[in-house]
Amino acid sequence: MKAIGIDLGDKRCGIALNTLDFVFAWDALPRHQLMEELKKMVINKELDTIVIGLPYDLYGVKTKQLEKTQAFIEKVKTTFPNLEVVWIDERYSTWSAIDTLQSLGSSKAQIQSQKDSLAASVILETYIDQQKSKK
């Protein structure tokens, strides 16, 4: 499986990739550039799965951001009909990313610039772990 994980935000989106069962934070980019970048990555990285974090609130309640993400998921499915497009609960992915960066002694500026792509890697790792546990 070659997959990409996405932490979708209104302004910035984090991206993570997996290679040989290793997940790594790839990049964070402005939301308006995401679809164009996805098109390139699907071809260049030979992806077969796109994993998108679904942002429920802490209590599992639907939010406006959740509705925006669901609309984005439908757009991705339409744009890439031959790929598996899945979503997972990403409730704690950003917190986990920030906690990891803080524990590494990252500065506030480093945390701000790296949290989205690291959150995307948490999303992708969660999905991969779920798939492994099904086997």
pLDDT digits (tens, 9 = 90+) for 104-115: 998 999 888 899
What is the spatial distance between Cα 99 and Cα 41, in angstroms, rounded to a whole number?
29
Q: Where are the domains of the chain?
A: 3-134
CATH of 3-134, one of 3.30.420.140, 3.40.50.300, 3.40.50.1000, 3.40.50.11740: 3.30.420.140
For residue 37, pLDDT over 90 is answered with yes
pTM of the model as a whole: 0.91
SS3 content of the chain, % helix, strand, coil (to 5): 50, 25, 25
Q: How confident is the model at residue 19 (pLDDT cuts 50, 70, 90)?
A: confident
